[in-house]
Each structure stands twice: as structure tokens, then as C-alpha cells.
Amino acid sequence: MMRNDPIKHVFIWPAVLVVLAISIFPLIYSLTTSFLSYRLIPPIPPRVVWLGNYGTLLQEPRFWNALFTTTLIALIAVGLQYAIGFGVALALNARVPGERLFRVALLLPMLLAPVAVALVARMMFNPTMGPLNQFLSQFGLVNLPFLTNGHWALGCIIAVEVWQWTPFVILMMLAGLQTLPEDVYEAAELENASAWQQFWGITFPMMLPISAAVVFIRLIESYKIMDTVFVMTGGGPGVDTETLTLFAYQEGFKKFNLGYTSALSFLFLIAITIIGVTYLALLRPHLEKRR
Amino acid sequence: MLRRTFLMLTTSLALACAGSQANAACSPDYTGVTLTVASQTGPYIASALKLGADEWAKKTCGKVNVVEFPWSELYPKIATSLTASDATFDLVSFAPAWLPDFVPYLSEMPKEMQSGKDWDDIEPAYRERLMVWEGKIYSQSMDGDVHTYTYRTDLFSDPKEKDAFKAKYGYDLAPPKTWKQYLDIAEFFQRPDKGLWGTAEAFRRGGQQFWFFFSHAAAYTNNPNYPGAMFFDPETMDAQINNPGWVKGLEEYIRASKLGPPNALNFSFGEVNAAVAGGQVAESIGWGDTGVIAADPKQSKISGKVGSAMLPGSDEIWNAKTKKWDKFPSVLPGPFMAFGGWQIAVPKAGKNQKAAWDFVKTLTSPEVSGQAAITGGSGVNPYRKSHTANLQLWSKIFSPEEAKEYLGAQSDSINAKNVALDMRLPGYFSYTEVVEIELGKALAGQTTPQAALDAMAKEWNRLTDEFGRAKQLAAYRAAMGLPPKN
């Protein structure tokens, strides 16, 4: 086939149209809606307010609270997932006895639906009937307010996130560890480098690219947390555990405030983009050093 | 050849006869029709719909598919389907408060269903008020909902408890007439070391919480001297939720949260029923399900010891017009039609509207609904006169004394002159969302009752302005049974 063969259009345009139809047009529609005051219930005819929705949102304490809560959950949960995940991956890579069994068992949480995990967690943290409080009462810690106090509830959500998604980090890090060359470690051993020195001098720097990717994926995913919070606390008490996606859901699917919700979604997109770009900018010097 | 033709003819005739006989059993014949009903997750209401579905299937040979959604998901699912005008659901079951939002998408009830013995049997509070929107009937009540009071008769009739209570509070231990007495009783029975607590109410966001708060406030805000002013001023549509009556209601609701089992803040109505049936609490308020579940020996530890009464009231009620407390010569009971009972309606976009209304007729018939009302966990409470009049029906679950108190509390509450109606307004969820958020903060002690209520009032006024004050005022007056404002 020649470069200017018109047949190329037959192959390219269907794909372009599909991408436009399922991605670009809804995005443009959503952006347009964000400039409108538009409610389905009660039905109010759309009215152009330009940046009015954005202005209202930026002055809305609930938006900033949701952004703060989401960031807190994402940073703490991903930090813990990375630390624990990397540690477990190192242990599994060291060929501990029963490694295969551990590998399968540790992956199970990731295979479960977040809604199911959140439901089980809600039962576990149930103040009166939950096994956790019953267990803790043996040590004199009576009825801890797991889901009825804002700080405790945030801690519980983070704990569930860590439990469920650490296996993903383990999987990725283990795959990375298994590709590291053996000879570098043999050379380090000849130089009498301790295990700690080997980790900081060889393993960690060589694992940096994959670490950066894993943390980036988990960070973006964590910002989208919705189902776990929805089931465990519904955003409460008050709005103490309300995340950005849950806030958007409440506005969009409970109040059918479409213009406002579209603006919220775009602000969310902007926030995620800023976080992603900052993260990559911070890591770039270290990653470039590796090349 | 002739023989074979004769045989074929005979067989055909026999088959045709059999067919016509089968169809005769289906009256009206809806063979091949499958209706899809949107419901909240069972057993509450979904099981009642299934009971009705079985009866309807026997009668008409049609089928009913009950699709269940969690309570918090039901409104968005129905609203999305209705506003998209798709025919996903042939019937939708919902809260009366959502009716104003759904009305543009619902078909009107056939006129022939709006008369007759079964029609007159529906309690007027439902037939003439909650089922009506702007003079038309778009939905049928399939459940009656009014908050009542439930207590343990074994504790209340114990001479030792009675003496100790009188010595401490100076009056007899009996179902409370006022909310102060209700809190006194809760405090008296607060004995965590013995696994007994004062009261159980719903306090969890998304767990039917705000209806319990409204029940407390109704006693101080539903003033017969200025009807319909509980939630908004019916003249100006200014929010009333931060007036002194509401503040008193919220203070007492918060106090009740501290007189319940540990972490009662996480209770939804389901947990309230479990606490009552488990004998964990001395008293409680809630819908009629509480009494039915508590009386059922299969589900309850206090079967045979269940007392019922109307909600407590007050002899002082805030007047939103004069902005003063009105003093009454005696305590006015404060029944509140919390939620108002599940309703069922037929969307305009439905493809089987005739069959759907026929199903509604069967589901809400005195026989089928009466059976649902005495089934613990069906979620159906009395809404027909025949439900509360038929003591024989209730003898299956209650002792005669229990039945008398339970049915008396239900009937007296629904028919009370000063019964408070729940809020019904377009944009209902926008109004109640801020209530849930601020209640959560107030219950957790993050804000004062007055500050929480001020935040609610501010948001309610903002929403009213956004939705159109005149339009909302007209809707609110209609919902409260007041004539249109000139």
C-alpha cells in the first residue's frame, strides 16, 4: 500500500469516529453543560451562567473539604500500599517457604469487588455486632466509634483501601524485582555490601521507574474512590469522609444538578491533572538520572 | 381417511376448549404480559410487592418482575428512568415526598379506580391528601406510615420499676405524653451493665435519620393556629427549620442519641427494630414495623410484651406567624406522618399501563394488603380502615391487648386533627441532603443545634429561590392541603 493510497481513510476514519463518539463528544457536551445552570429535577430550563458554576464551587467549603479528604485518603493509602507492597514483594522475591501460596493468597483481596469488600468491612466495623469491637472489648477498649467518628471513619476507609490494593503493588513490584539482573548483586556481595546497602544502592534505584508507574496508577485510582466510601460511611458523619466523586454523585444523581456536577467534574479533572503533572515533574530528575 | 379427519377435528376442538377454559381462569387475561416494578431492596416493600405479584399472577396469568435497589439508590434509578422517558419500569414504588418530582412523568389513575368500596376504605389522610397532587391522583398508597411509640409492657408494669420511677421523677411510669417524659423514661432505663438502654432511634445519615428528627420537632412546630407552617411559612415560603420549636426538637433528638445502645449514631431503622425486638431498649419511636416485628416470636425476644401509643406531644407550640410560643390548655399529641407510606404509580412511558393499574388494584386490595400488613418485615403498615378495624386479622401476631394498643395508636395518629404531614416539595433531595449533613455534625457535637439549623435554613431559602419561590410556595401549599394563594 502506498503512503497516499486513499484506502487508508477506510481504516482510519471508523476508528477516529468511534473515538470522537465515545470520548470527545461527551467531553465537549459535559464542558458545555458546565457553563449552564441546568437541573433535571425539579426541571429548570438551561440558562447560560458561563463560569458561574465554577465560581460557586470554588467558594463552596464542601468542595474544598471533599478535595482535602480525597487527597488525605489517596496520599496516606498509597504511601502505605507502596511501603507494605514493596516489603512483601521483596520477601516473596527472596523465595521464602510457601511463597507460591502466599502469592496467591495475597492477591485475593484485589480480585474482589470494592463494593463487596466495603460491605464486609462495614460488618467488621459494626459498633455493636462487629467482631472487631468484640475482640477489642477483651482488652477493655469498649465500642470504638469506627464509623461514627470522622477521624476513625477516615482511618477505617484508608485501612480497607490498603488491604484491598496492596496486592496490586505487590504484583507489580514482584514482577519488577524478578527482572533485575543477578550479576549486579553478585558483584555487590563480592564487595561485602550489606543487605541494606544492596537495597538502597541497587534495588531501590533500579526499581524507581516501575515504582513511579505503580504509585502514579494507584494515586489516580485512589482519587477516584467512591464505592468504598459510599457503602461504609455514605460520606458521613456530616461530610467528614465525603470524597470528590461522592460529592459529584450526590449532586448529579441525587439532586440532578447537571450544570454544577459537570463543573465539579472538570475541576476534579484539573485537580488530578495538576497532581499528576507535579508528581511526574518531581520524579523526572531521578528518572532521567537512571537512563 | 374419514376416521383420521374426524380424529383431528375432535382433537382440535378439545384443545380449543381447554384453551378457552384456561383463559377463562385469567380474568382479565394478561397471559404473556410481564410487568417490571422498581422497589427498594427487600424484605421491606419488595416482599409485599411479590405477595401482590403472586396473587395477580393467579388472577390474570400475567407475571411481575420486582427489581430491587438499595434505598439510597432508588430515587436516582427511578428519576433517571423517568426523565429519560424509557420504558424500563412498568411501575415504580416510591416515597410520597418524591411525587412532586415524578408527577410530570406519571400517568393518572383510571377514573374507575377512584370510586367504590375499596376506594372509600382507604384512610382519608392518604386518599385525600398524600395520593393527591394538584387535584389529580397519580399514585396509590400501598403502605401507611406514621411514627408511633413502642414500649416494653413488662418493664412498664413492673411494680418495682413503677415505684422507683415515681420516686425519682414524681409522676407515674406510663407511655409518655410529652417528649420530656420520653427522655425521662429513657434515662431511667439506661442500664448498660444489664444490657438495657433507654431508647432506639435512627441517627445515621442515609438511614431514615431525618424523619426521626422531624418527629421530635413536629410536637413543637405543627401549630393548629397556623396550619402548614411546620417546614416553611405558607405565606412567604421562608424556611422555618431554625425557629425555636425546631431547636427544641433537635436538642431533644441529640439527647435521645445519648440514651441509646452504644454507637446508636450508626443506627438506621433496621437497627432500631433489631434493638427493640432484641429487648435491648425500654422504648422507641418509629414506623409500625417496629411493633409487628417485636410481636413476632420468631424475630423477637419481647413477643407478648409490646405496647404502643401515639407519639408524645407538647402544650407549647411555636407560632411561625406571631414568632411566639402558643400555650395550649392541655398537651397536644404530635403524630407525624413520617415518610407517608410507600406509593406505587405507573409511568407514562410504560407499555402495559392497563395491566399495570390492574396490578395496583390487586396489590392494594383490602385482602392482599391486609395480609401484607400483618406480615412482619413486609414493610406494609395499616392504611385502610379495614386494616385497623379487623382485630381478627391481627390476632395472628398480637395478643388482644397488644392489638388494641397497636391499632389504636395507628388509627388515632392517622386521624388526629393535628397530624403533621411530611414535607413534599419539588427538589426534595436537595432540601433533605443539607438536613442530613448538618444533623450529622450536630449529633457528633461538631456544631451547636442552632448553628446546624441556621445552616439548613440558609440552604433551604437558597434552594427555594433557585427553584422559583412562587412555584415552590404553590407546591408547598398544595402538599400541606392549603388553598392556592391569590
- Return all residues near B396 (Cβ < 8 A) that are at least 6 apart: B374
Lowest-pLDDT range of A109-123, B166-180, B238-252, B322-336: A109-123
- DSSP letters along A6-28, please? THHHHHHHHHHHHHIIIIIHHHH
pLDDT < 50: residue spans in chain A: none
Work out the burial of residue B341: count CB atoms within 10 Å of its CB; fewer than 13 is exposed, 13-18 middle, 19 or more buried.
Answer: buried
Percent of chain B whose pLDDT exceeds 70: 95
Mean pLDDT value across residues B377-393? 88
Range 102-121 of B in CB contact (< 8 A) with A: 104
Q: Determine, for residues B79 and A143 on separate chains, whether the beta-carbon distance falls below 8 Å.
A: no
**Is the CB of residue A213 less than 8 Å from the CB of residue A175?**
no
Looking at every residue in chain B, the average pLDDT score rounds to: 92
Mutate to test the interface with B, among A37, A115, A128, A241 (most CBs of B within 10 A): A128
Confidence bin at B19 (pLDDT 50/70/90)? very low
Phi/psi of residue A36, each to 5°?
-115, 155
- Closest-approach residue (CA) in chain B for A150: B444
Q: Measured between alpha carbons, how far is B458 from B238 in angstroms, rounded to an integer?
A: 10
Which cell numbers in the block locate residue B375? 406480615
Other residues' Cβ atoms within 10 Å of the Cβ of residue B347: 24
pLDDT 10s digits, B435-464? 999 999 999 998 999 999 999 999 999 999
CA B138 to chain centre: 18
Q: How far is CA A123 from CA A148, A231, B135, in A?
A: 14, 11, 46
* Structural domains present in chain A: 34-290 (1.10.3720.10)
pLDDT at position A137, please? Answer: 83
pLDDT greater than 60 at residue B17: no
Which of A43, A234, A254 lies nearest to residue B76, judging by beta carbons?
A254
pLDDT of residue B20 exceeding 50: no
DSSP state at residue A254: I
DSSP B398: S
Give dist(CA B407, CA B387) in Å, integer: 9
Record the cell numbers describing residue A126, joined without a space: 459494626
Quote the pLDDT of residue B24: 56
Question: Does the CA dihedral A212-A213-A214-A218 come out positive or negative?
Answer: positive
- Are B48 and B55 a contacting pair, CB within 8 Å? no
Residues B281 and B199 sit within 8 Å (Cβ to Cβ)? yes
* B147, B287 contact by CB (below 8 A): yes
Which of B261, B266, B433 is nearest residue A250 as measured by Cβ atoms? B433
Q: pTM for the full model?
A: 0.85
Rounded to whole angstroms, how far apart are CA atoms B128 and B114?
11
B186-215 confidence digits (pLDDT tens): 999 999 999 999 999 999 888 889 999 999
Q: Which of A65, A68, A23, A33 is nearest to A252 (CA)?
A: A33
Interval B259-276: pLDDT, tens: 999 878 888 898 899 999
Which chain B residues have a beta carbon less than 8 Å from that of A43? Answer: 104
Cα–Cα distance for residue pair B138/B353, rounded to 1 Å: 13
Give the C-alpha distances (Å, rounded to integers) separating A51 from A28, A47, A261, B164: 15, 12, 13, 66
DSSP 8-state code for residue A233: T
User: Nine-digit cell at B320?
Assistant: 411561625
The verdict on A235 touching B (C-beta cutoff 8 Å) is yes
Nearest to A143 among B79, B263, B444 (CB): B263
Return the residue matching grid coordinates 496516606. A76
CB contact under 8 A, B206 and A234: yes
Residues B113/B139, Cβ–Cβ less than 8 Å: no
Binned at pLDDT 50, 70 and 90, residue B393 comes out as: confident
Which bin fits B123, alpha (ψ -120 to 50), beta or left (φ > 0)?
beta
pLDDT at B177 over 60: yes
Q: For chain A, what's the residue count? A: 291
Percent of chain B predicted with pLDDT > 90: 81
In the predicted model, is pLDDT for residue B11 greater than 60?
Answer: no
- Interface predicted TM-score (ipTM) of this complex, two decimals: 0.78
Distance from CA of A290 to the nearest CA of B (A): 50
According to DSSP, residue B125 is labeled I
Alpha-carbon distance of B465 to B471, in angstroms, equals 10
Say whether residue A45 is in contact with chain B using an 8 A CB cutoff. Answer: no
Residues near B161 by beta carbon (within 8 Å), at least 6 away in sequence: B155, B173
Read off the pLDDT band of B15 (50, 70, 90): very low
Spell out which residues of chain A touch residue B429, defining contact as CB-CB under 8 Å. 41, 254-255
pLDDT tens per residue, range B72-123: 789 989 999 998 888 899 999 999 999 999 999 999 999 999 999 999 999 9
Chain A residues 63-122 within an 8 A CB cutoff of chain B: none
Q: Which residues of A touch B100 (CB under 8 A)?
A: 42
- Domains belonging to chain B, first-starting first, are 30-144+340-389 (3.40.190.10), 148-334+419-479 (3.40.190.10)
Chain B nearest CA to A228, separation (Å): 15
Q: Based on C-alpha coordinates, what's the Rg of chain A?
A: 24
Please tell me the predicted confidence (pLDDT) of residue B143.
Answer: 95
| Inter-residue contact A219 to A78 (CB < 8 Å) | yes
Residue B69 touches chain A, beta carbons under 8 Å:
no
Say how many C-beta atoms besides its own lie within 10 A of residue B310's C-beta: 22
Q: What's chain B's Rg over C-alpha atoms?
A: 24
Indicate whether B159 pLDDT > 50.
yes
Residue contact B429–A235, C-beta within 8 A: no
pLDDT at residue B179 in the model: 98
pLDDT band of residue B168 (cuts 50, 70, 90) is very high
Residues from chain A contacting residue B440 (CB–CB below 8 Å):
236-240
Closest among B142, B125, B70, B47 to B341, alpha carbons compared: B142
Region B417-446 average pLDDT? 93
Contact indicator for B338, B147 with CB cutoff of 8 Å: yes
